[in-house]
Amino acid sequence: MKIGLAQINAVVGDFPANVKRILAAYRECLDGGAELVVTPELALVGYPPRDLVFKSHFVPRCLQALDYLAGEIGEVPLVVGYIDVHHPARPGKPFRNAAAWLEQGAIRQRIWKTLLPTYDVFDERRYFEPGETCEPLRWNGWRIGVTICEDIWTDESLQRPFYDRDPVAELSTLGIDLLLNLSASPFHLGKPLQRQALISGVARAAKVPVVYCNAVGGNDQLVFDGHSLVADAAGHIRAQLPGFVETCLVIDPFNTATAAQIEAEADPAQLYQALVLGLRDYVTKCGFSSVCLGLSGGIDSALTAVIAADALGPQAVHGLTMPSGYSSAGSVEDSLALAHNLGIGCDVVPIGDAFEAVKAAMQPVFAGKPEDVTEENMQARIRGLLLMALSNKEGRLLLTTGNKSELAVGYCTIYGDMCGGLAVISDLPKVRVYEVARWLNREREVIPWSTIDKPPSAELRPDQKDQDTLPPYETLDAILELYVEQHLSADEIIGRGFEENTVRWIQRRVDLNEWKRQQAAPGLRVTSKAFGIGRRMPIVQRFGG
């Protein structure tokens, strides 16, 4: 049985465009000889639609689009993800996360998602009622299990055993020949490998081939990486679709003659591709065609610029480098060298006069109080103001360039360097920023080596270095991993051998800066626990570390 996998990039809520995209992929699969075509989860809708589903006409329009789509489907069935209504008179949530089996111009069958993730970035119990039964679908003598994303995730693959049901086991007990899974499984580092192990295990447990079609594309903070998979009944991965691109594949999962050659991609390559796709989709799906950003001569803004130039083309990217009296010569030189390497525009806009004017305005209020972090923040905020002016004047989306380590401890200025519509690398710890930058330079100098090699500095006071304030980044990132991602206490982290004062300083800074992060630009999630929608901390709290 030849099955087409339509690994498509849907736009949330754009039903007409998503129908077109699905039909184009369906027809491409037909041309490839497919006898059955599968899309990702909620392919008709885009994942996640979040509270859009509550709009009075959102799900009705989705159902209209499904009807239209069904009318375009012939003998070769299409299994497509959409949102259905739950029975209005029965208790529960108003909707279903659903898949429809379309065939011969009609909706032949509707399947509900059974396991509804409600953790991390997922809120499905807010919207959906789980399916009550899991039954195989019969088609041409085959018994096919149709599942949606979480339905096949086993206890071992999750943080803890969340569910008291096991759709794969229920389907297996009833008897299936093939398992389909429609997914919208977002990327984080290591996820593609994790999914291979999962799909392989599911196939082995169910003793049938598994066809796993994952979404691709960026939607707000989430980047879906594709990497759809096909496993045979013995659990061998027979195909993996390319990552980070919209694509189709037609394959017979019962024909196990050829094994897939899957090259594991290096971490920086994965991270970089995810960020390029996430940036491109955020900018273009929002309707922008160009971006701007501040270039400081430092590594964070340099990496952000490279990602932007790759995602949108260099002509769509414009930098400002904004020296002050505290800026090193390198800050302008390295910025211009980077701009030259990338072929992007860059203007030099000194901030000295504006800084003096702002200080003068506040002088009567401050009445002789000494300069302190206030004046450092003023400089960062003047730069933010100038960048937003460029953004407003030219209709460019401003990219903010901060990394995860500084966002964690608040080593960044709100309304200053935090200004922007998208925080491109805000989920990359600083050590990873260096790793990706060196990987980018593996063949030729993309980011000036002087940018990579110099000690990092905010250059907001004379001879300032990040490490005047922060622990070494290796230490900072290691502690942040334990505190933020693993939720360990300061005491537990100290118990692992880290220096007490450092741990407590980091813990306090992370907690105190929650308010800043809640006003941060959305960031592209590339680790298993990003600041953003998957981490919901109160601002007002006194728990401590």
User: Smallest distance, Å, CB 359 to a second copy?
Assistant: 9
Q: Report how far residue 129's alpha carbon sits from residue 94's, in angstroms, rounded to the nearest whole number.
A: 7
Active site residue 113: yes
Q: How many CB atoms lie within 10 A of CB 122?
A: 17
> Pairing mode, if any, of strands 229-231 and 210-214?
antiparallel
CB nearer a second copy, residue 21 or residue 238: 21
136 binds a second copy (CB under 8 A): no
State which of positions 271-290 bind a second copy (CB under 8 A).
281-282, 285-286
Stretches 97-105, 167-175, 309-317, 489-497: which one binds a second copy (CB under 8 A)? Answer: 489-497
Q: How many CA atoms lie within 13 A of 105 on its CB side?
A: 0
Q: Is the peptide bond before 429 cis (omega within 30 degrees of 0)?
A: no
Which spans in 289-351 are helix H? 299-312, 329-342
Out of 29, 103, 113, 376, the active site residue is: 113
Query: Binding of a second copy at residue 106 (CB under 8 A)?
Result: no
Q: Is 393 a catalytic residue?
A: no
Cα(79)–Cα(541) distance, integer angstroms? 47
User: Within 10 A of 92 (CB to CB), how many other CB atoms are there?
Assistant: 12
Q: Is 518 in the site for a second copy (CB under 8 A)?
A: yes
The one catalytic residue in 29, 41, 134, 419 is 41
Q: How far apart are CA 179 and CA 147, in angstroms?
A: 7
Backbone angles phi, psi at 90, to 5 degrees: -100, 145
Strands (E), 15-90: 36-38, 78-85
Q: Least Å distance between CB 144 and a second copy?
A: 27
Q: Which window, 169-177, 194-202, 464-472, 531-539, contacts a second copy (CB under 8 A)?
A: 531-539
CB 315 within 8 A of CB 429: no
Note whether 256 and 232 are within 8 A (CB).
yes
Q: Looking at beta carbons only, is 56 or 258 nearer to a second copy?
A: 56
- The C-alpha atoms of residue 239 and residue 507 are separated, in whole angstroms, by 44
The reply to whether 246 sits near a second copy by the rule CB under 8 A is: no
Q: Is 133 in the site for a second copy (CB under 8 A)?
A: no
Active-site annotation holds for 129: no
Q: Which of residues 47-66 bind a second copy (CB under 8 A)?
A: 48-52, 54-58, 61
328 counts as binding a second copy under rule CB under 8 A: no
Q: At what angle do helices 299-312 and 329-342 cross, to 10 degrees?
A: 20
CB of 440 to a second copy, least distance (A): 26
Using CB under 8 A as the binding rule, whether residue 368 contacts a second copy is answered as no
> 152 Cβ partners below 8 Å, 6+ apart?
167, 168, 179, 181, 198, 199, 202, 210, 212
Residue whose token pair is 């290796």: 474
Please name which of 384, 433, 440 lies closest in space to residue 406, comparing C-alpha atoms.
433
Q: Is 508 in the site for a second copy (CB under 8 A)?
A: no
**Span interacting with a second copy, options 232-240, 260-268, 371-379, 436-444, rule CB under 8 A:** 371-379
Active-site hit among 62, 134, 149, 213 = 149
Cβ 15 to a second copy, closest distance in Å? Answer: 8
369 binds a second copy (CB under 8 A): yes
Q: Encoding tokens for residue 353?
A: 């006069």
Residue 424 touching a second copy (CB under 8 A): no
The end-to-end CA distance of the chain, in Å, is 56
Q: State which of residues 132, 368, 393, 462 lies at the interface with a second copy (CB under 8 A).
A: 393
191 Cβ neighbours under 8 A, 6+ residues apart: 185, 225
Hunting for tokens 């701009």 — which residue is that?
339
Member of 2, 125, 204, 461 binding a second copy (CB under 8 A): 125
11 or 262: CB nearest a second copy: 11
331 touches a second copy (CB under 8 A): no
In the complex, minimum distance from the CB of residue 19 to a second copy, in angstroms, rounded to a whole number:
13
Size of residue set near a second copy by CB under 8 A: 98
SS3 state at 518: coil
Q: What are the two backbone dihedrals, phi and then psi, of residue 103, each rounded to the nearest 5 degrees?
A: -160, 135
Question: Binding segment for a second copy among 33-41, 343-351, 440-448, 465-473 (CB under 8 A)?
Answer: 343-351
Which of 470, 466, 457 has the alpha carbon at shortest distance from 331? 457
Determine which residue in the list 382, 412, 440, 470 makes contact with a second copy, applying CB under 8 A. 382
Is residue 118 near a second copy by the rule CB under 8 A? yes
Q: Which of residues 209-228 bind a second copy (CB under 8 A)?
A: 218-220
| Of positions 2, 14, 142, 267, contacts a second copy by CB under 8 A | 14
> Taking CB under 8 A as the criterion, which residues in 142-181 touch a second copy?
155, 160-164
Binders of a second copy among residues 399 to 418 (CB under 8 A) are: 414-415
Q: Which residues are catalytic?
A: 41, 113, 149
